Amino acid sequence: MNSQDFKLKAKFNLKTYYWNLFVVGIILIAIMTSSAALVGLVLTGPAMVGVNQYRLHIARTNTEDTNLLVSGFKGNVINHIITFVLMSIFIFLWTLLLIIPGIIKTFSYSMTFFILADNPDLEPQEAIKRSREMMHGHKWRLFKLYLSFIGWYLLVLLTFGVGMIFLDPYINLSVTHFYEDLKTRT
């Protein structure tokens, strides 16, 4: 599958669930950019797991289950928090070397919260390791998927970034379908 295939699948799901995914994206952005850094640090990992379970459910069944949004706050919450902290530290350290290694590692770790959404009881380092293994040889494909949104990104610039909140559901659901494709390959 290529970028167009992922985007077409995302468009199909978005016909029904765009506004729901839009609201979920706004809430996730609010959590991640919380002015209280500790609050954002503690809530982002579990929120990402829940949001990814929700997105995966929509991608797999074309139905929604809003109960999944809080699923990251049940069970192994501490592992989800630790995973987010470890990923952030690893990416920061790789970025200290140069920007490019940091970007490459960001792509390597990009499937971690999808993996946790499918396997919530995984240990943090195991989830990160599985993401690295899953993305081995596929980072360029994910980069091309993001690059396929270049026209949309330019429109976002014209709106001084505000348009990104409307584009976010489309991009993230396309990445969700990318993950589903990766699962079948590994």
The per-residue pLDDT of the chain, averaged, comes to: 92
More confident residue, 39 or 72: 72
Phi, psi for 159 (deg, rounded to 5): -100, 15
In whole angstroms, how large is the CA radius of gyration of the chain?
Answer: 16
What pLDDT does residue 68 have? Answer: 92
This prediction has a pTM of: 0.89
Phi, psi for 77 (deg, rounded to 5): -60, -40
Report the C-alpha gap between 148 and 144 in whole angstroms.
Answer: 6
Report the C-alpha gap between 112 and 88 in whole angstroms.
Answer: 12
Segment 128-186, tens digit of pLDDT: 999 999 999 999 999 999 999 999 999 999 998 888 889 999 999 999 999 999 999 87
